[in-house]
Amino acid sequence: MSWLMIVLVVVAAFLILMPMLTYLSARRQVGRPVDSAATGAGEGDRLIYFYSPKCGPCRSMTPIIDRLAQDNPRVFKVNVMEDMETARAFNIRATPTTILVKDERVLDIALGAKGEVQLERMLRKVA
């Protein structure tokens, strides 16, 4: 096997494993207690949207979150570039990430851009 082939296999493995590890890390957060005093993302049952202004999928999802936040006071946006402490408290590794908190525990985590229907379905879990 040539060196080029070995390098290509290693790069391909990296590209496949990194998203998988990010997903598994996020799934481990489900059920974890949330310290509301340590986070700047509100209190009580809520949907928290972590985004970055430079993220392409975030730019497409942010208007949807803005519409939902107008109708529902339990929707919060956290810019990870400005509020790194809250992002660290929730162990955010990728944007966009949407976290559903119920009874001060992480109930659900959604990685990547989601549509309005999916987000409304998440919100109904805490209604």
For residue 63, what are the CA distances in angstroms to 59, 75, 98?
A: 8, 13, 14
Residue 55 a catalytic site member? yes
Amino acid occupying residue 27: R
Amino acid occupying residue 62: T
Angle separating helix axes 116-124 and 56-71, nearest 10 degrees: 50
Question: Which of 55, 99, 109, 111 is flagged as catalytic?
Answer: 55
Best CA proximity match to 63, nearest among 74, 73, 82, 77: 77
Question: Which of 58, 65, 78, 113 is flagged as catalytic?
Answer: 58
Could you give the residue numbers annotated as active site?
A: 55, 58
